[in-house]
Structure 1
């Protein structure tokens, strides 16, 4: 009887924790919105990707599903369910008690499933409650089990540096939104300020909107597609064509014997 081969790969969460523990590393995470944009970012060599999207029961269920899917981390915030972008005005917050219950629910589910998913505590309280209230909320979130802190809508570099100093040694995340309320800083600048993670949530969607709008305008005006160097095969290769060929060949299939 052949022996059963057992392989226990490192989880995405474990890899993320390794990055966070590396004093020389600051993660750069481009925002993606579907499988194609995710593959494009991975092709360029990014180590980590970011995707954006109640109640304690739903938080626990989401954590369980994310863990089963192999997600490395998620962040939970203190806005009401009908939330808005963190860089818009007049955001509504839940009470501190409800916010912390969300964090506890995530931590409890992680412990129940013996997982290691990284829990990021986000607060949007800066506009309405002020900086000190944000620090207090994040400190309490860390106290109930959050691994990383995220103050949305940081207004100045000095404020950003103070956040990292006050919450140290807990890793901090910076949200780089071009045209938003926060300073537009590079990953190197974020590292100097003390941040361990920098996300760029709108980098993919913004470029797609601009590029697709231009293509559609050209098509409408000229009645013909603009020239491009991207072929259908290029797109299929990005979507995993070679992996499909390798899998079929390894299984003894002949679907791709004559090429593609």
Structure 2
């Protein structure tokens, strides 16, 4: 009932413990607190909170328009509704290194298990679009160093995302990404998010080059081929995310339902696609709230 029974500190500790095991952890993207509960119910390992989803939720493109306050507030609402650890996309850290430091402490306070900071210029753009520009290595290092120095809970995961692969073709782009990732690990990153890897071999090359966990982004309609969890586990990837998938599926279903309303005047044909009322009530612990309410408001009115 209400929020997670597991404290943020315990979530972080357990997450770090599992991450150190070397197994692949699956983190679907939650687009709201209720979807985070469903991700937990379906047996996944964690919840990912995408910056693209947070901006889309506000009707905005993913070009750095959201603020730290908006991201931290929504991420807290999502993270506190599940016993699972939640990782949030913190874009470029919302400013200069001092802002990055504040971002990390704000996200710690919001109950997140970790966050990633990227090396794009500010304002950033979606990682799977063309025309991205990254900052110089010194600036990227300062962001990660500020993040690592600012955290108070050593179990809070500082992940560095590098978008440099898309700045050059072929092997040159991969080599640049590996070199940047190594520099970010030296600056204090606990894990690396190599964005827009194009092949399984590129993920494998990144895995072999680094001594820290790596994350694979399996977003649809992007630069990366959509590999299975087993394929990624076989090459030693530690975390896989599907950042926008659940939102895309939900919006696709909503669009089809609206079409049905226009064409048929009712949603009878869509009942089989809907979450049943009983399933919704079960997911939100309706009975527990009802029992609690009854135990408190148990008086009778004398007549």
Q: TM-score range by the shorter chain?
A: 0.7 to 0.9
Quote the residue 1:217 is aligned against. 259
Q: What is the Cα deviation at residue 240 of structure 1?
A: 3.7
Distance in structure 2 (CA, Å) of the matches to 1:99 and 1:134: 12
Distance in structure 2 (CA, Å) of the matches to 1:69 and 1:243: 25
Q: What is the Cα deviation at residue 101 of structure 1?
A: 1.2
Matching of residues 41-56 of structure 1 within 5 Å: 41-53=39-51, 54-56=95-97
Structure 2: state its 5+ residue gaps: 1-5, 52-94, 299-303
Change (3 A) 1:9 1:152: closer
Alignment partner of 1:57 out of 98, 107, 112: 98
Q: How many correspondences in the alignment?
A: 244
Matching of residues 39-118 of structure 1 within 5 Å: 39-53=37-51, 54-110=95-151, 113-118=152-157
Distance in structure 2 (CA, Å) of the matches to 1:179 and 1:99: 27
Quote the residue 1:200 is aligned against. 242
Change (3 A) 1:159 1:114: closer
Change (3 A) 1:185 1:9: closer
Q: What is the Cα deviation at residue 56 of structure 1?
A: 1.5
1:142 and 2:140 matched = no
Change (3 A) 1:219 1:71: same
Structure 1: state its 5+ residue gaps: 1-6, 256-260
Secondary structure in structure 2 of the residue aligned to 1:14 = helix
RMSD between aligned residues: 2.2
Quote the residue 1:153 is aligned against. 196
Distance in structure 1 (CA, Å) of the matches to 2:235 and 2:259: 42
Distance in structure 2 (CA, Å) of the matches to 1:156 and 1:117: 30
TM-score using structure 1 length:
0.86
Query: Structure 1, residues 45-86: CA drift from partner, whole Å, max 9, x if none?
Result: 212010112222222122112212221111110112222211
Quote the residue 1:258 is aligned against. none
Change (3 A) 1:254 1:202: same
Query: Structure 1, residues 147-187: CA drift from partner, whole Å, max 9, x if none?
Result: 111110001111111110011x2111111112221121111
Q: What is the Cα deviation at residue 128 of structure 1?
A: 1.0
Quote the residue 1:31 is aligned against. 29
Secondary structure in structure 2 of the residue aligned to 1:107 = helix
Quote the residue 1:121 is aligned against. 160
Q: What is the Cα deviation at residue 19 of structure 1?
A: 1.2
Q: What is the Cα deviation at residue 236 of structure 1?
A: 3.9
Secondary structure in structure 2 of the residue aligned to 1:235 = helix
